[in-house]
Amino acid sequence: MKYLSALPLIIILVFSSNSYSQNLFPNTFEDCNTERFALEMDTTTAKIADSKLISIITTGLDQENLENVNGIMALQVIVELDGSSCLLSYDNRLNIEGFGSKLKTEIDKNLKWLEQSKKVAAIVSIRIQDGLIEFKRLGMGGDKGIHELQN
């Protein structure tokens, strides 16, 4: 799949949605363990193959459907020490309804990150346009505010 460059749109999306306590985005789920987690700050600490992340996010969208999907979705995923996932909050600005609920099930059951030394909330933004997918990992903190993370 090809990727797009849309960091300015993604940052606007995240900035417009950061007043929800531990939840960064307006659509929330209550079943995640939110005890003592950190946000990624300077580098990605929760590691996963890009292809695995894209595969989980696009589950249920065949190439024909994917070409009709446009917009941006931002996710806040709690990543446990064992690599298991729990979708905590999201903001869906894609042109398809109900995608977040389906994504919750898929992420919680099937998205497995590498084991790590601390529990974190990974912030992922996805832009889909004309069948092309781009995703960015974002961090928050310090003097940088919200910014794209480096691997």
Count how many domains the chain has.
1
Bridging pattern class, strands 85-94 and 27-28: antiparallel
Read off the pLDDT of residues 40-64 as tens digits, 9 standing for 90 and up: 888 888 999 988 988 888 886 666 6
Residue matched to tokens 């696009």: 58
Q: Is residue 81 a part of any domain in this protein?
A: yes
Read off the pLDDT of residues 77-103 as tens digits, 9 standing for 90 and up: 999 999 999 999 999 898 887 776 788
Q: Is residue 55 a part of any domain in this protein?
A: yes
Q: Is residue 111 over pLDDT 90?
A: yes
Q: Is residue 117 a part of any domain in this protein?
A: yes
Tell me whether residue 106 is exposed, middle or buried, using C-beta atoms within 10 angstroms of its C-beta: 0 to 12, 13 to 18, 19 or more.
Answer: middle
Q: Is residue 111 a part of any domain in this protein?
A: yes
Instruction: Give the range of the structural domain holding residue 35, as residue numbers without chain letter.
Output: 7-148
Q: Is residue 2 a part of any domain in this protein?
A: no
Structure pTM?
Answer: 0.81
Read off the pLDDT of residues 3-31 as tens digits, 9 standing for 90 and up: 455 554 555 445 444 434 578 889 899 88
Q: Is residue 1 a part of any domain in this protein?
A: no
